[in-house]
Amino acid sequence: MREADRPSSLTIEDVARLADVSVSSARNYFSRPQALSAPTHARIKAAVQQTGYLPRGSLAGLSRRQLGRIGFEVPRGEDPAGNPVFNQQLLSLLWSARAAGFRLQPFVTDKEPGSRAPHYQQLWEQREVGGFIVTDLAYDDERVAYLQDTQVPFVLFGRLHEETGYCWVDTDNVAGSVMAVEHLVEQGHQRIAYLGWPASDAVADRRLEGYRLGLATAGNLPACIQVQTYGQPALEQAHDLLRRSPRPTAVIASCDEFAYDTIRAAAAVGLAVGSGPGRIAVVGCDDSAMAARTVPTLTSLRQPIQRLADRAIDLLTAKISNPRFEAHVLERPQLIVRESSSAA
Amino acid sequence: MREADRPSSLTIEDVARLADVSVSSARNYFSRPQALSAPTHARIKAAVQQTGYLPRGSLAGLSRRQLGRIGFEVPRGEDPAGNPVFNQQLLSLLWSARAAGFRLQPFVTDKEPGSRAPHYQQLWEQREVGGFIVTDLAYDDERVAYLQDTQVPFVLFGRLHEETGYCWVDTDNVAGSVMAVEHLVEQGHQRIAYLGWPASDAVADRRLEGYRLGLATAGNLPACIQVQTYGQPALEQAHDLLRRSPRPTAVIASCDEFAYDTIRAAAAVGLAVGSGPGRIAVVGCDDSAMAARTVPTLTSLRQPIQRLADRAIDLLTAKISNPRFEAHVLERPQLIVRESSSAA
């Protein structure tokens, strides 16, 4: 963690001087950023970040009620109620916020594609919330760009390409995949495949990165990667994996949905699930609600969501009181070993 | 639906006169109800409900901001993130509230047993919300008693023993179980068992009631009921069911968790799941996230949560503007037939 002093009596003139621009340009940065050229905008942004300057009417003018509310957008996936991680994030944040004396304000934006930043802007400008916790991130997340540019306090539940310049909490997805590989190697597996999402966000990339790292560490085992393409069901991808020659003896899936798809593909070709000769071991991720009840029970990585939620609220509290505060929290998941990767 | 006129210029004296009590007793009803004898409390309550009287400082004094917020307690189950229905309710209500121009304010109370009514009282008295939608109901729900006594606008997502005197929306759980029985009878089943929760709330009772009704309608088929006792895992209950003689050929479970436990018990004794000779058919309830992906895919009743959420917001809106408004909405679930109850 690193912290910086609170800004004392900074003025817009200080920012303009540091950025070597006119005062009216510096004002435009907050009120009409589209009026600025890209280089000018970048210079002012750097000066604002360096000084921690906040325009009047932002934090200084927040009411206690506004400061006490934290905005949290519930992801707009096709069926978010089915996503075990988003549900746990939402519920954990409700508990964490309550314990810290805050009120979480969950909200939804649009089901259609398009920028969600205006929804954040509206909540902020109408003084509904004193900051945001943001999840379901894309690398070029326009919501994060908005929050950074306007100096709204926020903490990411997840990360972008750049890992500094903002506060975040995240599951160590690299470590999770390494744990999955280690577990399978201990069970005697040498041909371990990976079934994942396309590389488009840090969760997908880090889970795959951990898989590669795990293989390398285990003695440069061969990689066997099947990455989902949009429009093709994961079930078909699982079938493709099982048709590879030589056939993998274990599959690490990037989520429990894909793990169940793999089990389904195995059943279709009469392949038993588990560790041992003639079987295929399956490891999922996210430890979804039925993982301990299905046949077979599913080995899966459980994310440390409640701990991360607690820390996210901590960081946001610090960020609200000190605009230059920055900290990062990485927590390891836990591998819950069940029948799908165990010997019969 | 029935509606009543808005109260015009009712006073506490009118209420006292109608209830045949002193004005100070009528005032105590709102401020110190514990000071009243039970019969006096009941008489005043009836008069308040009959007249739609609201004390000063309640609805009339609500701010636009307060009126625009709807409180919704997220149930405090052991792992609420794993409950498919509560998740869907929460997410559906977020969308419904947004479409109606409201903001949903989810909140949590305590993980420990004890009255949750004080949390509602605090939110109401601190003017955080203009009304509540309440779910996860027990028959003697002290939260509902508080909301009724203090004339706070609320709508139940579910029902109590008494079905009138308040607004509610609910899944037709009787019809759902009847549909499950009809489906199994169509598949040729005559020995259809039921695995459910103990009778302690309207959801448990109505699902069981529908099962009995379905059997009666199908020609008085024999009942075979296994009701869970606290402390005994449903998996053991499922094993008990499969040891019955003659063995049931189908099981209707009160939730998907118990359906998976039944499938697990069947696997343990080498019994295939599905419809047909030597197999056991399984029907779950709530259509949880993995139901379409497990082996076998699970036949389950899908609740009409989004429609009910929309209607709950409608009713609460009406209730806020008219304290004597009362309406009830019952929607049928949909049976999603999958492999667990189909012929091989």
ipTM of the complex: 0.81
CA distance readout (Å), B210 to A141, B93, B103, B128, B249? 49, 27, 36, 40, 19
Q: How many CB atoms lie within 10 A of CB A279?
A: 18
Q: Which residue has the tokens 């089915």?
A: A82
Question: Does residue A7 contact residue A49 with C-beta atoms inside 8 Å?
Answer: no
Question: Which residue of A80, A94, A256 is in closest CB contact with B108?
Answer: A94
Contacts of B289 in chain A (CB under 8 A): 79, 81-84, 288-290
Average pLDDT, chain B: 88
For residue A141, what are its two tokens?
A: 């997340």
**Distance in Å, alpha carbon of B138 to nearest chain A alpha carbon:** 22
In the prediction, which pLDDT does A101 show?
Answer: 86
Strands B250-253 and B272-273: unpaired
Nearest to A102 by CA among A304, A314, A307: A314
Contacts of B260 in chain A (CB under 8 A): 290, 293-295
Q: CA A335, CA A341: separation in Å to the nearest integer?
A: 11
**Distance in Å, alpha carbon of B100 to nearest chain A alpha carbon:** 13
Q: CA B109, CA A207: separation in Å to the nearest integer?
A: 35
Per-residue pLDDT band for B273 (boundaries 50, 70, 90) equals very high
Question: Does residue A283 contact residue A253 with C-beta atoms inside 8 Å?
Answer: yes
Residue A7 has pLDDT above 50, yes or no: no
Map residue A33 onto helix, strand or coil.
helix
Q: CB B87 to CB A94 under 8 A?
A: no
Per-residue pLDDT band for A5 (boundaries 50, 70, 90) equals very low
For residue B125, what are its two tokens?
A: 């008295």
Residue B267 has pLDDT above 50, yes or no: yes
**Distance in Å, alpha carbon of A159 to nearest chain B alpha carbon:** 23
Q: CA A17, CA A249: separation in Å to the nearest integer?
A: 64
Question: Which residue of A260, A288, A293 is in closest CB contact with B264?
Answer: A293
For residue range A258-314, list pLDDT tens digits in order: 999 999 999 999 999 999 999 999 999 999 989 999 999 999 999 999 999 999 999
In the prediction, which pLDDT does A292 show?
Answer: 95
Q: How many CB atoms lie within 10 A of CB B230?
A: 7
Give the angle subtended at the CA of B118 by the CAs of B117 and B119, to the nearest 5°. Answer: 90
C-alpha torsion angle, residues A214, A220, A221, A226 (rounded to 10): 70
CA distance readout (Å), A294 to B199, B262, B264, B267? 26, 10, 7, 10
Paired strand residues for A156: A134, A168
CA distance readout (Å), B261 to A62, A292, B43? 52, 10, 49
Distance from the Cα of residue B322 to its chain's centroid: 24
Q: Tell me how long chain B is.
A: 344
Q: CB A79 to CB B289 under 8 A?
A: yes
For residue range B61-102, list pLDDT tens digits in order: 556 566 689 999 988 665 655 677 888 899 999 999 988 888
Residue in chain B nearest A265 by alpha carbon: B295
Helical spans, DSSP H, in A218-336: 234-243, 256-268, 305-321
Contacts of B262 in chain A (CB under 8 A): none
Strands A299-302 and A334-336: antiparallel
Q: CA A38, CA A62: separation in Å to the nearest integer?
A: 30
Question: Which residue of A106, A288, A295 is in closest CB contact with B263?
Answer: A295
Question: Does residue A238 contact residue A258 with C-beta atoms inside 8 Å?
Answer: yes
Nearest to B269 by CA among B242, B303, B299, B229: B242
**Distance in Å, alpha carbon of B280 to nearest chain A alpha carbon:** 15
Name which residue leads in pLDDT, B336 or B321.
B336
Torsion sign (Cα): B196, B197, B199, B203: negative
Residue type present at position B115: S
For residue range A197-210, list pLDDT tens digits in order: 887 789 999 999 99
Question: Does residue B256 contact residue B300 with C-beta atoms inside 8 Å?
Answer: yes
For residue range A100-133, list pLDDT tens digits in order: 888 999 999 877 777 899 999 999 988 889 999 9
Nearest to A288 by CA among B238, B234, B288: B288
User: In CATH terms, is domain A61-171+306-333 a member of 3.40.50.2300?
Assistant: yes
Q: CA A95, CA A91: separation in Å to the nearest integer?
A: 7
In the prediction, which pLDDT does A48 show?
Answer: 75
Q: CB A81 to CB B88 under 8 A?
A: yes
Q: CB A106 to CB B104 under 8 A?
A: yes
**H/E segment holding residue B227:** strand B225-227
Residue type present at position A307: R
Nearest to B90 by CA among A329, A335, A66, A107: A107
**Distance in Å, alpha carbon of B264 to nearest chain A alpha carbon:** 6
Give the DSSP letter string of A89-151: HHHHHHHHHHHTT-EEEEE---SSSS--HHHHHHHHHTT--S-EEE-S--TT-HHHHHHHHTT
Dihedrals phi, psi of B238, to nearest 5 degrees: -65, -40
Query: How close are the terminal C-alpha atoms of chain B, in Å?
Result: 46
Residue in chain A nearest B287 by alpha carbon: A82
Question: Which residue of B94, B108, B289 is in closest CB contact with A108?
Answer: B94
Mean pLDDT over A164-187 rounds to 97
Question: Which residue of B91, B290, B294 is in closest CB contact with A80?
Answer: B91
Per-residue pLDDT band for A3 (boundaries 50, 70, 90) equals very low
Q: CB B264 to CB A295 under 8 A?
A: yes
Mean pLDDT over B271-295 rounds to 95
Mutate to test the interface with B, among A108, A112, A263 (most CBs of B within 10 A): A108
Residues of chain A with CATH 3.40.50.2300: 61-171+306-333, 173-303
Residue B5 has pLDDT above 50, yes or no: no
With both helix axes pointing from N to C terminus, report the angle between A84-99 and A305-321 in degrees, rounded to the nearest 10.
50
Residue A65 has pLDDT above 80, yes or no: no
CA distance readout (Å), B153 to B33, B55, B281, B316? 19, 13, 44, 7
Residue in chain A nearest B233 by alpha carbon: A293
Q: CA B212, CA B200: separation in Å to the nearest integer?
A: 17
CA distance readout (Å), A12 to A40, A47, A55? 15, 10, 7
Question: Which residue of A108, A261, A289 is in closest CB contact with B289?
Answer: A289
Contacts of A264 in chain B (CB under 8 A): 293-295
Q: How many CB atoms lie within 10 A of CB A140?
A: 10
Question: Which residue of B81, B260, B261 is in closest CB contact with A84?
Answer: B81
Dihedrals phi, psi of A232, to nearest 5 degrees: -100, 125
Q: CB B260 to CB A294 under 8 A?
A: yes
Mutate to test the interface with A, among B92, B102, B108 (most CBs of A within 10 A): B108
Per-residue pLDDT band for B147 (boundaries 50, 70, 90) equals very high
Mean pLDDT over B232-237 rounds to 90
Contacts of B127 in chain A (CB under 8 A): none
Residue A316 has pLDDT above 60, yes or no: yes
Q: CA A109, CA A118: separation in Å to the nearest integer?
A: 9
Residue A82 has pLDDT above 70, yes or no: no
> If you classify domain A173-303 with CATH, what class do you get?
alpha beta
Contacts of B84 in chain A (CB under 8 A): 81-82, 289
Q: CA B124, CA B126: separation in Å to the nearest integer?
A: 5
Dihedrals phi, psi of B216, to nearest 5 degrees: -60, -45
For residue B9, what are its two tokens?
A: 């210029």
